[in-house]
Structure 1
Amino acid sequence: MESWGMILTGYGIVFGALLGYALVVLRRGRRLVDQLGLGELVTEAAEVGEHHEEPPWT
């Protein structure tokens, strides 16, 4: 049976690698959105959604 230290180290390495990969993917996605100019569209859509009023017939 392995010691708890080795088990926890293994989990730390695996989850640390997954977290690092997720951060890289998020940064690349944000950079791509900035390059394509989609960030402004998303911001405008969010602002429109915030000020959305229900139609009077509901």
Structure 2
Amino acid sequence: MRAVLREQLRSAVETHGLISDYMVSKGYYHPLDISEQSKVNLKAANTVLNLSQR
């Protein structure tokens, strides 16, 4: 059981790394620049609000 859980955890961490790298490369995620990340988050929130008003 421990081996199965260990493998699932390893896989989840690897997948998280791949997703994070993709998001950084596309400009969706700025883990070291909170100001820039706040701008991205605000833009995404406004997009969602505008879509929901249609």
TM-score of Structure 1 vs Structure 2, range by shorter chain: 0.5 to 0.7
TM-score normalised according to structure 1 size: 0.53
Partner of 2:2: 12
CA distance in 2 between partners of 1:43 and 1:25 (Å): 24
Aligned mate of 1:30, from 17, 20, 23 = 20
CA RMSD of aligned residues (A): 2.2
Q: Aligned pair in 2 of structure 1 residues 29, 43: CA closer, same or farther (>3 Å)?
A: farther
Cα deviations by residue, 1:15-52 (Å, 9 ceiling, x for unpaired): 00000000000000000001111115753226xx7xxx
- Unaligned 5+ runs, structure 2: 31-35, 46-54
**In structure 1, how many angstroms separate the alpha carbons of the residues matched to 2:19 and 2:37?**
14
Letter in 1 for 2:14: V
The share of aligned pairs that are identical, in percent, is 11
Q: Which residue of 2 aligns with 1:4?
A: none
- Residue 43 of structure 2 corresponds to residue 43 of structure 1: no
Count of residues paired in the alignment: 37
Which runs of at least 4 in structure 1 moved beyond 6 Å after TM superposition?
none
